[in-house]
Amino acid sequence: MPLVKSGQIVEDRFVRVADGASAPDGIAVIVGGARFLAEAEVLLQRSAPIGVVWPNDRSVGALAPYLDRVALVALMFPSFRDGRGYSQARLLRERHGFRGELRATGQVLRDQFLFLLRAGFDSFEVAKDADAAAFAVSTRRFDVFYQPSGDGRATVFRQRLDRIGWGAQAR
């Protein structure tokens, strides 16, 4: 599965570690959410970066105390019609201030890239090679956005005010 980061297909520097297996020090690993919570203090002692793959039916609030020390959170899209991960992503970014890598994993298709980007994801484990290759094209299709979502893009509502010089007043 190709990994897209910052718009490029890249090598994954993280290794997934199964729940029973030990997490070797010195390499970046991703562990399951339940295991992470159970062993958080030990795992966070390691010198290499730690990532967590978080299920989409559990509140991301449980991760909040650790987020400044976690390098990556991977959220799951078991099917691309299951949109819970979008809410989790926005909460992680906009409410809990997570600044690490936010990865979408599962059934991730090019038709979701822009939604995912706007929700705060910055890396994508893409199901199809052709979709990964089409990342740039698919995310440039739109330049008009209505919703403020924490990705910093100007919304239409704001742009309208700027245009008529009401921007300052509307803040």
**From the list 86, 98, 124, 135, which residue makes contact with other proteins (rule: CB under 8 A)?**
86
Q: Does 152 bind other proteins (CB under 8 A)?
A: no
Q: How far is the CB of 170 from other proteins (least distance, A)?
A: 4
For other proteins, the closer of residues 22 and 169 by Cβ is 169
Stretch that binds other proteins, among 24-32, 34-42, 45-53, 145-153 (CB under 8 A): 145-153
Q: Which residues pair with 3 in a beta bridge?
A: 10, 125
Contacts (CB under 8 A) with other proteins, residues 56-75:
59
State how beta strands 101-106 and 3-5 pair: unpaired
* CA pair distance 109, 129, nearest whole angstrom: 10
φ/ψ (deg, to 5) at 41: -60, -40
| Amino acid identity for residue 7 in this structure | G
Asked if 123 contacts 102 with a C-beta cutoff of 8 angstroms, the reply is yes
Q: How far is the CB of 93 from other proteins (least distance, A)?
A: 11
Q: Taking CB under 8 A as the rule, which mask of x and - marks residues 101-130 in contact with other proteins?
A: --------x-x--xxxxxx----------x
Which residues neighbour 46 within 8 Å (Cβ) at sequence distance 6 or greater? 23, 25
Q: Does 169 bind other proteins (CB under 8 A)?
A: yes
Q: Does 90 bind other proteins (CB under 8 A)?
A: yes
Tokens for 55, please give them. Answer: 């299920």
Give the angle 103-75-97 at the CA atoms, nearest 5°: 75
State the residues that interact with other proteins by CB under 8 A: 59, 80-84, 86-88, 90, 95, 109, 111, 114-119, 130, 141-149, 151, 155-157, 159-161, 164, 166, 169-171
